Structure 1
Amino acid sequence: MPATIRDVAKAAGVTIGTVSRALNNYSDVNCHTRERILRVAQELGYRPNQMARSLSSKHSKNIALVLSGFLEDTMLNDFETMLMKGIYQFAFEHGIDIAMYVINSRTQKEKSYEQLCYEHNIAGAILFGLKTNDPYCEALAASHRPCVTIDTEVRGPCISNVTLDDVTAFDELTQYLIDRGHRKIVLVHGRKNAMVSMERLVGAYQAFTRNGLTLTHDSIIYTNFLREEAVAGVGAYFRTHTPDSATAFLCMSDMLAIGTIEALKSLGYRVPDDYSVVGYDGLEVANYTDPKITTVDQNIKEKGYEAAHLLYDMLNGIRPAQKLVLPHTLVERESVKNLSELSN
């Protein structure tokens, strides 16, 4: 016999009304009580009638793609598009459906990860866009549902991570500029509390230190990975610095590199004749800018494909939770001037 709401209430040690209010996300239910009720309901296999009618047994292992901050970008970002292509390519090849849910830091506080999974019958999820201080990072660590995070590493027994060695890759990109005679390098930084930003910053510091250079706070332009913030940041930099204070801009993403080039052109400068610019990501659009942007290609589509593959294997007991580090490639194009050749 299917579990009833009365069974859930009894097992959770609460009233039927409390169970109903918890499942309908009423704010007057304590978060710990809500989590306990959701856990008990899941263990008993309880589903509200309206959900039971819409779900069949063949959908007992629903897979979700959860994107955090997706709607906060003011323009279409190739990164998410390429990532989704990889994820849905795997889904297509294996005949599985993956539903997409869009969240942000605020909605994570309003609806817990466990509740999101319970309401949509999610057995496992791929998560992208999480910040290190997001509520879901803590919730994932305590969850028993298999999940795969992309880039942001969260530790837990059921959590896998697909990522790049951002420290090594950004070290290599920084060294590329230094090897071409650039000593006055401005860093165009991404979101401060994003793990990828922290790791890329470490890579930059490593390369600077190894070459006897110092990366000062005055030489860092902070953004939230938004192109328009790079445009504004570069403009603000030159209002307080002389033109000879920099020869190159080291950007933490291709979109930031595009914004940097846009700002330099608006100020009457040429790339790479006056200033060199490098990006990071390997977005297709970086091959169509003027000039084409030298970048680190992290093969975003493969990252999405492997994330879906790993979650699928976890759900089917083929692979345990693990960290998967994918290779990167430095792609040399037209946006860097070799100052070493000029000095010889």
Structure 2
Amino acid sequence: MSETTGAESTAAGDGDTTDGSATTADTMRARAGENRVKLWLLLRANRLLVAGVLTLVVFVAFLAVAAAFSPALAEKVGSSDPIETLFASMITAIVTGATLVVTIGQLVLTQENGPLGDQQERMDDTLAVRDSVADLTGSPAPTDPDAFLEAILQAASDRALDLREAVHDSGDSDDGPDRAALEADIDELVAGVVENADGVRGQLDGAEFGSFDVVFAALDFNYGRKIGRSERVVDNHGDTLTDEERDLIGELKESLSLFGPAREHVKTLYFQWALIDLSRLILYAAVPALVVAGAMLAVVDGGTFPGRTLGVDHLSLVVGGAFAVTLLPFSLFISYVLRVLTLAKRTLAIGPLVLRD
């Protein structure tokens, strides 16, 4: 998987070539360069569905191996006791895994605990950011995560349009090629901001926090690339820009830079939400997994399920199904951790930096 960043942009200019033309796509899917199915499996797919598919794959693989290697499982049980060995080990693994999950849950909760002074500092920092967003948008900052991000995107889009209008209004046909080049670069910058912001706002509309939709939509706004382009415009056209235009570019950059920490905050909250859900689901799955493993130890032997179906021993079917069920807590762990790690890898850095080829 290619390395990516929170901004998905190059350090020199957020994915732009040296002449200023954009080469990096705005959406995360286009920037990733990954197979669409692989990306869907890692991020978009329902985690319970992924866990279910992994469990089914384990079951099928167990049957395939059991059928491929002779003698049959029933014959092996007659000479030794692989069932007892297998499920005794699974009971130990389940208990150990459940204990580990409780530890993970405690680590998440410790971030929410602390003395009164620390809690007051957290509140002050949160309110300070909300005040900055309120100043940016001209209205109180929304409380819903999706609306909060939408408000910043709308402000960035509005400021981009104001910048384009000011540049064209102050320009003149006799100003020469430098002014024309400035207007072309501003048009490209503004078009990228407005189109990208409108697309992400459409994805955020109606998205519910906790379902990953909010975080996934936020990944599609390539704010770092746009910060880099705004800096390049000032560097390339410093002598042509008026003071008003410089101020408007600065205001646009301010709105873009606010999206970065806002998205990181929402992402952090999602991480905590997902880890709590994961801990709860694993504990739920651990109980039936222990029951199945205990039942296999207590009542199943070589003569419990005689006969064959389609050339497969009934005992192999039962043992394979029970083995897959006892692995369900681990399948849940894999499905959630895959998403969390993929998301963390794609947002390692904040700002216009890149960690990929």
TM-score w.r.t. structure 2 length? 0.23
Larger radius of gyration: 2
Greater relative CO, 1 or 2 (CA 8 Å, sep 6+): 2
TM-score w.r.t. structure 1 length? 0.24
